[in-house]
């Protein structure tokens, strides 16, 4: 059964017991909502000092929206816009990106329909086995984080080794496979633009496997009875090279810019693109991996679908470090070389929140 809670800050409670009860229910956050809770369980409540320090100061900064319509011709203006956004904010939205609106809508619908399946059906996919290519769960860092997030996730590894469609839940199988095909094309285009933004040839990043693998995560944020006390997703940066996010109309995504949280408003038919940690590492801090979070909301459910371009669960021996063509006497390497396995292991063992995983890989700390 889903674990109940008081919604207040208690001086003592059996945290591990509540975590296990929540985990073993295999019902996720949606199971708590379905059980009729009106107050947050203790395991979801942010520490008082974090709540007190939260910066909600309004800002007039606007997230860049880049039109990719003319990218097949003279794309110097698009490259310049991508360069400016990737070097400063680390995040931008793209329109006219080539993924049909119907595909976007069907992907969001399929993600929602999976999470709204009967618990006994979707519970078959519930696991914390890191090697599973398709799994459903809530909070990958549940037992390591200071507080749990108000979010459930369906995680699917679709490359570099092809995923057999039969491994995906029937309710979202066709939509995820089609979205995967479409998003790979867009990913290739974006890696080309980012290569040019770095002053490299357009094929550079793709030629060294940066777009070779991708995972799709279908996030589900149920309506929260006390959203001011928790988060949908804790502050973090993404570990891979690049993330493309499809979000619905609810909103809630925020990025940290100049120590202020900036809303990333949903734009019709747009996709959100953000730089990942590994792309900041190999660009030697030229491109910025943005810290972001998702606030909880009374409204919902909020549904989003994130595509991470990385090589999860893939035994690659390739070593990554700052791109040598970008280095000079005035721009020496800032990071030590690492494998994706080592970087991801550190990232996932650390969990969300706290210092960026990149800090651990700096040559001088």
Which pLDDT tens digit goes with each residue over 226-270? 999 999 999 999 988 999 999 999 999 999 988 889 999 999 999
Handedness of CA 128, 129, 135, 139 (dihedral sign): positive
The tokens describing 18, both together, are 């509540």
pLDDT for 1 equals 43
The single residue listed with the structure tokens 């970008």 is 326
Best CA proximity match to 29, nearest among 113, 142, 106, 121: 142
The tokens describing 198, both together, are 């770095």
pLDDT for 213 equals 85
Radius of gyration (Cα) for the chain, nearest Å? 20
pLDDT for 244 equals 98
Banded pLDDT at 348 (limits 50, 70, 90): confident
pLDDT for 178 equals 98
pLDDT for 76 equals 93
Residue 189 CA to residue 199 CA, distance in Å, equals 16
More confident residue, 7 or 332: 332
pLDDT (average), residues 13-24: 92
pLDDT for 331 equals 93
Put simply, whether the predicted model's pTM sits higher than 0.75 gets the answer yes
């Amino acid at each position: 059964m889903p674990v109940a809670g008081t919604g207040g800050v208690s001086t003592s409670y059996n945290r591990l017991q509540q975590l296990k009860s929540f985990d073993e229910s295999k019902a996720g956050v949606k199971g708590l909502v379905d059980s009729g809770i009106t107050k947050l369980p203790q395991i979801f409540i942010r520490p008082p000092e974090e709540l007190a320090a939260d910066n909600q100061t309004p800002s007039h900064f606007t997230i860049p929206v880049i039109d990719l319509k003319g990218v097949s011709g003279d794309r110097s203006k698009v490259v310049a816009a991508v360069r400016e956004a990737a070097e400063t904010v680390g995040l931008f939205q793209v329109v006219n990106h080539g993924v049909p609106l119907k595909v976007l809508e069907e992907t969001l619908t399929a993600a929602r329909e999976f999470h709204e399946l009967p618990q006994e059906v979707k519970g078959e996919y519930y696991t914390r086995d890191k090697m599973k290519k398709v799994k459903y769960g809530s909070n990958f860092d549940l037992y390591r984080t200071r507080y749990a997030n108000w979010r459930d996730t369906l995680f699917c590894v679709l490359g570099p080794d092809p995923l057999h469609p039969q491994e995906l839940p029937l309710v979202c199988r066709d939509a995820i496979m089609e979205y995967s095909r479409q998003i790979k094309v867009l990913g290739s285009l974006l890696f080309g633009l980012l290569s040019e933004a770095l002053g490299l040839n357009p094929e550079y990043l793709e030629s060294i496997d940066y777009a070779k693998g991708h995972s799709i995560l279908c996030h589900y944020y149920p309506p929260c009875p006390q959203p001011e006390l928790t988060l949908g997703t804790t502050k973090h940066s993404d570990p891979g090279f690049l993330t493309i996010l499809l979000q619905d109309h609810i909103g809630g995504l925020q990025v940290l810019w100049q120590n202020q949280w900036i809303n990333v408003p949903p734009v019709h038919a747009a996709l959100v693109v953000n730089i990942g940690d590994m792309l900041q590492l190999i660009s030697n801090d030229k491109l910025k991996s943005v810290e972001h979070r998702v606030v909880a909301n009374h409204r919902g459910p909020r549904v989003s679908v994130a595509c991470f371009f990385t090589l999860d669960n893939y035994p690659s021996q390739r070593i990554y470090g700052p791109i040598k063509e970008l280095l000079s006497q005035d721009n020496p390497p800032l990071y030590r070389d690492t494998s994706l396995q080592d970087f991801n292991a550190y990232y996932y063992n650390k969990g969300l929140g706290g210092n960026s995983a990149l800090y651990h890989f700096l040559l001088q700390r």
